[in-house]
Amino acid sequence: MINRIISWSIHNRFFVWIGIGLIIIGGIYSIWQTPIDAIPDLSENQVIVYTEWMGRNPQIIEDQITYPLVSNMQGLPNVKAIRASSMFGMSFIFVIFEDDTDIYWARTRVLERLNYAQRSLPQGITPTLGPDGTGVGHVFWYTLDAPGYNLGEQRAIQDWYVKFALQNVEGVSEVASFGGFQKQYQITIDPQKLVYYNIPLMSLLQKVTQNNRDVGGSIYEMNDMGYMIRGLGYIKNVADIENIPLGMNKSIPILVKDVATVQMGGEFRLGITEENGEGEVVGGIVVMRYEANAKAVIDLVKEKMQEVERGLPPGVKFKIAYDRSDLIEAAVATLQEALWEELLVVSLVVMVFIFHVRTALVAIITIPLSVLIGFILIQLSGISLNIMSLGGIALAIGDLVDAGIVMAENTYRELTDEVLNKERV
């Protein structure tokens, strides 16, 4: 079989050159199209369902949220396993699908079941799907360098400006904020004053809720002109909450400030984020989409950050805390270095021991062609370029070196023997 291939190649050199050209074109195309990352993605093909019910203990979360949802997820096609975790105020369900299942098809099936399972959950509880990322999707971390701004102001900049801008970048699944304080209006109720004014607690909650919304009216027509009527009632500051009426006491209105203290504060935190032990910081984590190109996503995020930075408040800048592209570039540089070094070694060995230029070219050309064929197979197999796959190519180059030298030396010896036999004859 090998003899026939060699014989056909010798007599059809034109088609051999066409094949070499196709390998070069296909290899270069595969290099540009194959996603590149620093580490291989070995995480399971899963869809995360997250449900929040704050203030409830894990047993209630397990009985009223986790168990009904897990029961409804049973029977989904291509599901390998379902795992769940209940904790204080939160429930996580991990629906693990077969490895060859399309992740977005799986998310659609889970979402259909969630709509059906909604009726078995407590009123007002809505489960949501987690981001379409993987366990190694945290490709970029950044913090805000904002001297003169407190942690609450920094978190507001991150949540209401930076986060929304970076989420529009192609390939980004989510931008998770961390650090700082999330601002909120806090109403500290005095129970003795509630009893004195005979105001139920639920009535206070309803009044605050009802007075934090805009309402629409009809059209007021005057002089052949129609004017839209609407009521503006959204809360904008602490005074708006303090002046919400709760009832009457001897013809005197009872306001929220009469029974409670209203202030602007931060949401309860379970931890803090420090950078190099120099104090608390605020920032975000860029989560890459499933099967996206990590290097391309990071480059697009950096470009977007340059645009966003021009619109930040004076003195606020970005600081990169973690950038995986450095590791990606180092892995690619290692492969390039190994390729050029081994090409040089092969050239020297063949030239010194065989001392024949054409024979050296045969051994040298096989190395880059074999590498390009490897990239084509990686792209067709859906494998990303990472440290493991690039390291395998670098190791395989060593085997190609040995094979090229042995084949070149063997061919040279056969030709030499043939020439000597002819001379003897």
> What is the mean pLDDT of the segment spanning 296-317?
91
> What is the mean pLDDT of the segment spanning 28-46?
82
- pLDDT over threshold 70, residue 332: yes
Architecture of domain 44-132: 2-Layer Sandwich (3.30)
> What is the mean pLDDT of the segment spanning 359-370?
78
- Averaged pLDDT of the chain: 85
Common-topology check for domains 18-38+328-424 and 44-132:
no
Q: In what helix (H) or strand (E) does residue 317 lie, and over which residues does it extend?
A: strand 317-323
381-416 per-position pLDDT tens digit = 877 777 777 777 777 776 777 777 777 777 777 777
> What is the mean pLDDT of the segment spanning 285-289?
91
Q: What pLDDT does residue 135 have?
A: 78
Angle between helices 357-381 and 387-424 (to 10 degrees): 150
> Under CATH, to which class is 18-38+328-424 assigned?
mainly alpha
Domain boundaries in the chain?
18-38+328-424, 44-132, 134-182+267-323, 187-266
Residue 43: phi and psi, rounded to 5, are -75, 160
Mapped onto helix, strand or coil, the DSSP state of residue 202 is helix
- pLDDT over threshold 80, residue 318: yes
| Reported confidence tier of residue 423, pLDDT bands at 50, 70, 90 | low
203-260 per-position pLDDT tens digit = 888 888 888 888 877 788 888 788 888 888 888 888 888 999 988 888 888 999 999 9
Q: What pLDDT does residue 414 have?
A: 75
Q: Which CATH number fits domain 134-182+267-323: 3.30.70.1320, 3.40.50.300, 3.50.50.60, 3.40.50.720?
A: 3.30.70.1320
How is residue 221 annotated by DSSP? E
- pLDDT over threshold 70, residue 8: yes
- pLDDT over threshold 90, residue 166: yes
Q: What Cα–Cα distance (Å) separates residue 184 from each residue in 95, 209, 264, 303?
A: 34, 14, 6, 33
Pairing, β 245-249 against β 128-129 = unpaired
| Reported confidence tier of residue 378, pLDDT bands at 50, 70, 90 | confident
> Under CATH, to which class is 187-266 assigned?
alpha beta
Q: What pLDDT does residue 130 have?
A: 87
105-136 per-position pLDDT tens digit = 999 999 988 888 888 888 888 899 988 888 78
Q: What pLDDT does residue 340 have?
A: 79
Q: What pLDDT does residue 425 have?
A: 60
